[in-house]
Structure 1
Amino acid sequence: MRMSNKYKIALTSLMGNVIEYFGFTLFAVFSKEIGQSFFPKLDDFVQTLSVFIIFGTGFLSRPLGALFFGHFGDKIGRKKSLSYTILGMSVITFLIAVIPGYQMLAALAPVLLVVLRLCQGFFVGGEGPGAALYILEHSKVENRGMIGGVVIASIITGSFLATLVGILINQLGVVGSFSWRIPFFIASCFGLIELYLRFSLPETDDFIIVQKKNKIQKIPIKTVLKSYWREMMLIASLGGVTTAISYIIMAYFTPYFEKQLNIPHIAALQYSLYSIFLFISFLVLMGKVSVRFGARNFTIAFAYAIIFLLIPAFLAINSDNKMLFLIGISLIPLLSAGLCAPAYPYAIKKFSTEVRYSGVGVSYTLGIAIFGGFAPAICSYLMRTTELSYSPAFYIILLALVYLAFEHILGESKPNEI
């Protein structure tokens, strides 16, 4: 394979992740504005909580998307399945950009928003694991740790750009119910450009070999449920904790800084942007370092690090010392990157090629739906009920303990070499 073709595969795959998660994360970045458009009669806290709940519903449909697109990805190819995910995401994101608010549709407006969010999550459920699988199957085995970090970094880059756009729109003085719609429209346009680029990509060699050996499964998920249920439980628990701590950084930090620390909106977005930028940088670094120690050992080590260091990180954020504050919002991205970077390379080793899209996709997104997606809403609720500045750490620590328990019980099964 020519170097130019390798770069094209990598860049096009990663661009798809950036675009899809840019559109997916806009809900959190513009939670205040969306809350005002769809829940104008509620107070500020309930508005934000309502938007975070809708944000979380997008994760509920992700396992269905992973099941649907994983089925076709294992039967007709990774490339075709990924083309459909980006097309669907672009259409849904455009519809979100133009949906009328509460003033025009009353109670029907938030109902339609929930439906569109569920559809958005459906397509993202096929995109995230599929794009990771596609690029990892194209990469050399010795590079997969670093590539795994880069894949997650591309997802976080989408959130970084969403936050950056939020800052720019605020600084440009674009206000009112129209302000949050602009980036959704931009995301839908870029999605269609990405669709065009994906048509020129080749299929992975791993899938072509399975085709030639006539190993295509009639119903891949049936094989996964029968032969890989232990692996599914393990990867689901890993998907839950990685997503929850990631969305603390990508979705929860901004409202947390505003409401808990009384930081002005623009400054809160800037601090969030700083944290997300560190997260991206650490992901690439941790992905490379994880190769030396092994993906499993790395995830276990950082799960323990989260248990012991997350509460001190939140305490540092809430201190009156500016340096401790910066250390706190830097430490959480480091902990998250160490756990997330090797997650996909670890997961794909657990499933054979003929069922890998279905196995990784459904397992990981189940963990996201059950544990990860509602992390911002759960953390908001914990803050309100406990009045403890570090209470968001409780939920993440619980998920880390769940993952370690499953790892202790199920993690010793022999991985499938790829």
Structure 2
Amino acid sequence: MESTAGSARPNPVDISRVRRAGAIGNFIEYFDNALYGIFAVTIAKLFFPSFDPVVALLSTFALFGVSFVVRPVGAIVFGHIGDRWGRKTVLISSILLMSIATTLVGLLPTYSTVGVLAPVLLLVCRLCQGFSTGGESTTALVLVAEHSPVPDRGRNVAPLISATILASVIASLTAMIVSLAIPASALSGGFWRVPFLLAVPLGIVGLVLRLRVDDAEVYKSAAEVSAVIGKQDSERRAPLVQAFRTAKKSMVILFLWVALQATAGYITVSYMATHLMHFDGHSMVSTYGIIVVALGIATVAMPVLGRLTRRMSRKTFAMAMCAGLVVFSYPAFVLLGKGAVVAVAGLAVFAILQFGTMISSGLAVVELFPVDVRATAAALPYALGFAAFGGTAPFVSTWLAAEFSPTAPAFYVIGLAVIGFFVGWLGLPDAREMAVLADGRTDLRVGQVPGEDRRTPA
């Protein structure tokens, strides 16, 4: 019996629609987080008591970190929904919650109006954003990868990574425009709310796109087989329990891999602006110009890297990204202080390598786990990795640069890249897919990459 995984190959129109539906959520997630960081000083003035500006700013960033802490909770809840009732259900629910929470941030009354209720309401919105992200990040990757034939998964996942980078590019452009054209009085008077209200049209577009896609055949086949044989035992009702029972090692592998991705990623999108201005002496306009151009280059490069996964094994690709970060992280940080043009080159290469690790993650969330626990087993370690490493990356990097040297954060990345190299070598699969057998059991198969999607008899 042949594997049903990937047997129903969607035509290009269908897969393009699936990619757009997955990418829109990634874009909104990263755009919202970047906006919060960009307007942190303004939010601090408006939502916290003004007797101590430093305390107010720290409180604002504390609420930024809270969204990471709650991600694992969202991962458990949305992962359960994704395995029990489908990936599409998760993606519709998460984009609604994310869009509503972001819109409300732009509508909240300030401290001068409602007092302590203002930061409390802001906290609730940040918790909702983090909760929704816990299910959004991996489920979008799972949906797109499950719709793709094994050799094409990297190519189809890459646009989702491009969407996350593009969100940071547009957020940085917003910061440039604000710094050049908007007086501080106008910003505090209400202009800061406008970018958050963009969540309304973005959310509507995302909802429409996601309503037009369906779960992949591999998931529907597994659900149908389970229904036919009446598999409604406690494990089926609790995918998290089943995941820890059958995929614990793979969950640890994904967590260790995501540690590198989360750290390098949030150094790039959340810390790098501070580094360029504070440690390398760039102006605000120059800083955001460097980031926009460098990340723009990385955005274009992701589809190229995605196609490379068809020409080399998963392990080789992942190890190459890690080796590149080991070799180039330190030179990249040195180049940041050598002028705007050179800084763009250094940051662009660093960003391409670190976002390349996200393509490997997009493959791993499908190829490490059985289909019946995939959403749960992937979401939890992914969210824990971002909570432990992504949420702390800007703080750790700032401390390292201030305490030791402006180039010290590079060694943090290098250390994690060395670990990632061995995780990729020893832990990440080359290509896996799940066969749903006649009796409802699942059988793990190793696909052939590159080349055609071959399967062995059950």
Aligned counterpart in structure 1 of residue 354 of structure 2, from 326, 336, 341: 336
* TM-superposed deviation, 1:408: 5.9
Does the 8 A contact of 2:99 with 2:203 survive in 1? yes
* TM-superposed deviation, 1:2: 5.1
Does the 8 A contact of 1:17 with 1:127 survive in 2? yes
| Residue 286 of structure 1 pairs with residue 298 of structure 2 | no
Residue by residue over 1:119-155, the C-alpha shift from the partner in whole angstroms, topping out at 9 and shown as x without a partner, is 2011011111111111111122221111222221122
Aligned counterpart in structure 2 of residue 213 of structure 1, from 225, 233, 240: 225
- Partner of 1:98, secondary structure, is coil
Does the 8 A contact of 2:257 with 2:420 survive in 1? yes
For residues 423 and 210 of structure 2, what CA distance do their matches in structure 1 show?
Answer: 37
Does the 8 A contact of 1:133 with 1:357 survive in 2? yes
TM-score, reference length from structure 2:
0.83
Does the 8 A contact of 1:82 with 1:130 survive in 2? yes
Does the 8 A contact of 1:282 with 1:333 survive in 2? no
| Residue 325 of structure 1 pairs with residue 343 of structure 2 | yes
> Paired residue for 1:303?
322
> Paired residue for 2:109?
100
> Paired residue for 2:209?
197
> Paired residue for 1:403?
420
Q: Which amino acid is 1:157 matched to?
A: L
For residues 209 and 414 of structure 1, what CA distance do their matches in structure 2 show?
Answer: 20
> Paired residue for 1:33?
42
For residues 58 and 77 of structure 2, what CA distance do their matches in structure 1 show?
Answer: 30
For residues 176 and 130 of structure 1, what CA distance do their matches in structure 2 show?
Answer: 36
| Residue 381 of structure 1 pairs with residue 399 of structure 2 | yes
Kindly report the root-mean-square deviation, in angstroms, between the aligned alpha carbons of the 2 structures.
2.6
| Residue 176 of structure 1 pairs with residue 193 of structure 2 | no
1:246-265 to 2 correspondences below 5 Å: 246-265=265-284
1:19-418 to 2 correspondences below 5 Å: 19-38=28-47, 40-42=50-52, 50-105=59-114, 109-173=118-182, 175-177=186-188, 178-214=190-226, 217-319=236-338, 321-386=339-404, 388-404=405-421, 406-407=423-424, 410-411=427-428, 415=432, 416-417=444-445
**Structure with the higher fraction of residues in helix conformation:** 1
TM-score, reference length from structure 1:
0.90
Which blocks of at least 5 consecutive residues in structure 2 are unaligned? 1-9, 433-443, 448-458
Residue by residue over 1:66-108, the C-alpha shift from the partner in whole angstroms, topping out at 9 and shown as x without a partner, is 2111111111111112110011111111121122344445555
Q: Which amino acid is 2:163 matched to?
A: S
For residues 283 and 85 of structure 2, what CA distance do their matches in structure 1 show?
Answer: 50
Pair 105,232 (structure 1): closer, same or farther in 2 beyond 3 Å: same
For residues 10 and 334 of structure 1, what CA distance do their matches in structure 2 show?
Answer: 20
Q: Which amino acid is 2:300 matched to?
A: S
How many residues are aligned here?
Answer: 415
* TM-superposed deviation, 1:50: 5.0
Which blocks of at least 5 consecutive residues in structure 1 are unaligned? none
Q: Alignment identity in percent? A: 27
Residue by residue over 1:252-289, the C-alpha shift from the partner in whole angstroms, topping out at 9 and shown as x without a partner, is 22222222233222222221111221221222221211
Does the 8 A contact of 2:294 with 2:345 survive in 1? no
- Partner of 2:214, secondary structure, is coil
Q: Which is worse superposed, 62-71 or 150-159?
A: 150-159
* TM-superposed deviation, 1:411: 4.7
Does the 8 A contact of 1:148 with 1:343 survive in 2? no
For residues 32 and 393 of structure 1, what CA distance do their matches in structure 2 show?
Answer: 27
Larger Rg over CA atoms:
2
Q: Which is worse superposed, 32-41 or 139-148?
A: 32-41
Q: Which amino acid is 2:326 matched to?
A: I
Pair 221,318 (structure 1): closer, same or farther in 2 beyond 3 Å: same
